[in-house]
Every structure is written in C-alpha cells, then in structure tokens.
Amino acid sequence: MENQATFKLVLCGDGGTTTFVKRHLTASVSPINSKCMINTDNHTGEFEKKYIATLGVEVHPLTFHTNFGTICFNVWDTAGQEKFGGLRDGYYIQGQCGIIMFDVTSRITYKNVPNWHRDLERVCENIPIVLCGNKVDVKERKVKTGNVTFHRKKNLQYFEISAKSNYNFEKPFLWLARKLVGNQSLEFVAAPALAPPEVQVDQALIAKYEEELKQAANAPLPDEDDADL
C-alpha cells in the first residue's frame, strides 16, 4: 500500500486564497484515503472541500503524488472570515505549514503580510512558511518584485504566482513537502489536475519578473521596513 503523509496547511492573507486553492481538482486524487477528508461520492472533477461551521473555515484536501509516496495537504481556507475582525486561534492551532498570500496589484495586501505572519508564528511557532505574490499575470503591478523583502527578513520562501493562469501553482506545495518530509530530492511524479487557465500569462513579462527575483535575492536589505512599495 502506498504511503501517505497528511499535513494541515494554514492558508491566509489578502491575495485571492480561495481562487488559488480551487484550482486543484479532486479528479487527481487517487488512491483515496479517508484521513484526507475526501468525499468519495464526488466524481465531477470539481474541487473538494469540507466546511467547519464553528470556525467559518473551508478545508480543501489537495493530494500530490511524489517519488516518496503520496502527500495530502488539508488546506484550511478562511472563506472570507478575516473580513469580520480577524481569525480565531482555532484556525491556526496544529498547523504544520503555512502559505501567506498577497496581491501584487494591491499595496495594502503586502503591508498586511507582517500581521498574518505574526499571528501564524504566535500560534504555530516554527513551521515552514511560503509567501506568495499572486496575480503576476496582471500588467498593472503595484508591488514590484524588488520591493518584496519581508521573506528575506523572516527566512521564508517566496514565489510569484498567478492563480488564474496556474503559473507556479505547484511550487509552494513542492517546497513545503520537501521541508516537511526533510528530503530535498522529493519530486512530484505527476502534475496536479488543475482547472483550465482563465487567463494567459505574458511569457516575456514572467521572464522579466524571474530575472528581477534573482537580482533582488542578492540586493542588500533596506534599513527600514518595506515602506516604499
């Protein structure tokens, strides 16, 4: 029987978290393991979720097949509850890894990242965390690649993604899987089944951002917090 590891992943931020997690379709989930909270009656190829009414949370099981067995992330999504005065600690408790998202077309979402990180660290302490800048498919970008420095100060991994185009969708999960399993040679052996892209990314623009990311990684950190976005 294939090994399966299951982890609670806390998804938070102001950058389109629900759109991101709904890209992954349950059609890719095989074999089915009850611990992963899969609804086996659903064979429509739609995303799967389980709603926890007491916390106002949707849990989406995302399964990835790797060269070391199957990994299931039970992704806890706030489902908009953060708009009603913050999240309860119960949302974070027993979180084993996290993704913080912001919207590169909205400066305020990046300015909120430290608040999300503080709450996540306060409850979960030393867990692997990925910071994701979403919507890089949009040309009118407000948060420039070189100005994203929070992850370097806090030793987080950073990826630029586009949920609607599926660009870099698997990267945060692969990085987290390697950290959680403790093996950098872990690879996904099958591409996840994703919803068809709603938009196309400009390849020239993406190449430009990727080059800027490389340059930014070697640039000195600013003395002040990210004030000039």
Tell me the average confidence (pLDDT) per consecutive run of 10 residues in the chain, 229 residues long: 82 77 53 33 43 67 91 82 60 91 93 92 92 91 92 92 88 96 93 79 87 85 59
Q: Is residue 49 part of a domain?
A: no
Q: Is residue 206 part of a domain?
A: yes
Q: How many CA atoms lie within 13 A of 181 on its CB side?
A: 24
The model's pTM is 0.81
Task: Count Cβ atoms below 10 Å from residue 89 Cβ, excluding itself.
Answer: 10
Number of folded domains in the chain?
1
Q: Is residue 99 part of a domain?
A: yes
Q: Is residue 39 part of a domain?
A: no
Nearest-angstrom CA–CA distance, 65 and 192: 8
Q: Is residue 74 part of a domain?
A: yes
Q: Is residue 122 part of a domain?
A: yes
Q: Is residue 65 part of a domain?
A: yes
| pLDDT score of 214 | 87
Query: CA-based angle 218:168:131, to the nearest 5?
Result: 55
- The b-or-e profile of 28-41 (16+ CB within 10 A means b, else e) is bbeeebeebebeee
Nearest-angstrom CA–CA distance, 42 and 53: 21
Contact between 64 and 192 (Cβ < 8 Å):
yes
Q: Is residue 91 part of a domain?
A: yes
Q: Which domain holds residue 194?
A: 5-23+54-221
* 174 Cβ contact partners less than 8 Å away, ≥ 6 residues apart: 64, 186, 187, 188
| pLDDT score of 117 | 93
Greatest Cα pair distance, the chain, in angstroms, is 54
**Which CATH number covers residue 74?**
3.40.50.300
